[in-house]
């Protein structure tokens, strides 16, 4: 098929009708086991060896090839030295457009940053396209849409955690969250991940709960992936986090192999029972990161509190990815949310703060966040400084 340009037409690669979405759901029970991860752990879990491309500069997320902005912005480093970025609702229009007035919106796109020797190259953006109509890169089985929130790599496959929803015109916010999916992605050449036209994707359900969403952040440790899960309902007001896990050798049937950390037994129990969840973090966010920092010998959680009026990015630390976590500490005052700052944006709210471990050094980390506007018809369509991941470098104490 040859190398596609950025924002290439992937319709022939991920057919809409055949071979793209496969539902796998095989009932299987698992006995509860003792919690084996409460003690502090070290090593590089949740991180990676830095590539030669760990610079003093920040990642570039350009408007290019008709990609005109998106929220989200999780990234995952891959064995070939590249990084895949996951974006939520994305504007697609004419290359070089000065605004988004005539742009289409798709529910998700991806970006790929490649390490070229010692420098990161420009990011390429990709989505699917049917004839002349842009379509989301990830499309769920059945009805609805998927927002990608986190990704991890294991074995020779890439996995993306997707928040599933359905449009509800004239009701509430115009959408309803209906559960979580997992995209399982393989490629014809596992040593090269910069050619998404060679990828094969399969989307399977994780759960259909309206109260628990296992998609906030993921840690691969041993034979399992551990997933921070945001809770709503049951009187919760601050996005407390529980943790579920699934065996890496059975992710194709993750819905039936999921286990949760139980508050009543303090063991891993089969399924996902929100009312019995062990709360590992009293306040988190649906989009966040939890990463290990060898230089500090601790885990660092980064997020913006789940409050539309939040003005700061915060950080928490722990000796273990299951806690105990320190109190939140502000690490960045968001200019768009600060009235005294010249770049303050009225009617704005910011979210989706997370760390990008590819750019970590012993004394700094790179975090991105996104800002949106309550004024869609004018501000969001015309202000190109809004609605794109914003990278900032945060100093760390070695």
pLDDT tens across 221-270, in order? 999 999 999 998 555 557 899 999 999 999 999 999 999 999 999 999 99
Give the separation between CA 105 and CA 156, rounded to whole angstroms. 32
Which CA distances in Å does 177 have to 164, 166, 181, 211, 319? 6, 7, 12, 9, 33
pLDDT category of residue 54 using cuts at 50, 70 and 90? low
Q: Please give the angle made by the CA atoms of 15, 20 and 25, to the nearest 5 degrees.
A: 160
pLDDT at 322 > cutoff 90? yes
Task: Work out the number of other CB atoms within 10 angstroms of the CB of residue 66.
Answer: 19
pLDDT at 62: 87
Whole-number average pLDDT of the chain: 84
pLDDT tens across 142-161, in order? 778 999 999 999 999 999 99
Give the separation between CA 278 and CA 269, rounded to whole angstroms. 11
pLDDT tens across 266-309, in order? 999 999 999 999 999 999 999 999 999 999 999 999 999 988 89
CA 184 to chain centre: 14
Q: Name the pTM for this structure.
A: 0.86
Domain boundaries, the chain: 42-395
pLDDT at 132: 87
Domain 42-395 matching CATH 1.10.10.10: the answer reads no
CA 66 to chain centre: 22
Give the separation between CA 63 and CA 123, rounded to whole angstroms. 9
């Amino acid at each position: 098929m040859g190398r596609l340009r950025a924002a290439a037409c992937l319709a022939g690669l991920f057919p809409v009708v055949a071979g793209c979405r496969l539902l796998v759901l095989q009932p299987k029970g698992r006995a509860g086991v003792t919690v084996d991860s409460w003690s502090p752990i070290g090593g590089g879990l949740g991180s990676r060896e830095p590539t030669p491309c760990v610079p003093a500069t920040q990642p570039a997320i350009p408007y290019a090839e008709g990609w005109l902005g998106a929220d989200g912005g999780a990234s995952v480093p891959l064995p070939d030295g590249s990084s895949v970025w996951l974006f939520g609702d994305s504007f697609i229009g004419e290359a070089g457009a000065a605004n988004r007035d005539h742009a289409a919106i798709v529910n998700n796109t991806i970006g790929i940053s490649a390490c070229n020797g010692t420098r990161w190259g420009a990011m390429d953006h990709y989505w699917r396209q049917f004839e002349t109509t842009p379509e989301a890169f990830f499309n769920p089985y059945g009805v609805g849409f998927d927002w990608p929130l986190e990704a991890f790599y294991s074995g020779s496959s890439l996995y993306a955690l997707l928040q599933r929803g359905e449009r509800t015109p004239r009701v509430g916010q115009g959408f309803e969250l209906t559960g979580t999916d997992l995209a399982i992605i393989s490629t014809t050449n596992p040593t090269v991940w910069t050619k998404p036209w060679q990828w094969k994707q399969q989307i399977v359900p994780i759960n259909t709960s309206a109260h628990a969403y296992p998609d906030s952040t993921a840690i691969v440790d041993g034979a399992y992936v551990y997933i921070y899960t945001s809770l709503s309902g049951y009187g919760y007001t601050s996005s407390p986090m529980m943790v579920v896990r699934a065996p890496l050798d059975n992710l194709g049937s993750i819905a039936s192999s999921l286990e949760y950390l139980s508050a009543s037994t303090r063991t891993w129990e089969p399924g996902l029972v929100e009312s019995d969840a062990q709360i590992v973090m009293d306040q988190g966010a649906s989009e966040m990161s939890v990463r290990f920092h060898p230089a500090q010998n601790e885990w660092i959680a980064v997020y913006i509190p789940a409050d539309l009026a939040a003005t700061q990015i915060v950080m928490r630390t722990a000796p273990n990815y299951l806690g105990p976590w320190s109190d939140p500490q502000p690490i960045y005052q968001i200019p768009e949310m600060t009235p005294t700052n010249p770049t303050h944006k009225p009617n704005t709210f910011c979210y989706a703060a997370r760390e990008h471990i590819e750019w970590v050094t012993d004394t700094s980390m790179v975090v991105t966040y996104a800002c949106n506007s309550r004024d869609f018809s004018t501000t969001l369509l015309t202000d190109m400084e809004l609605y794109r991941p914003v990278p900032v470098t945060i100093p760390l104490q070695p």
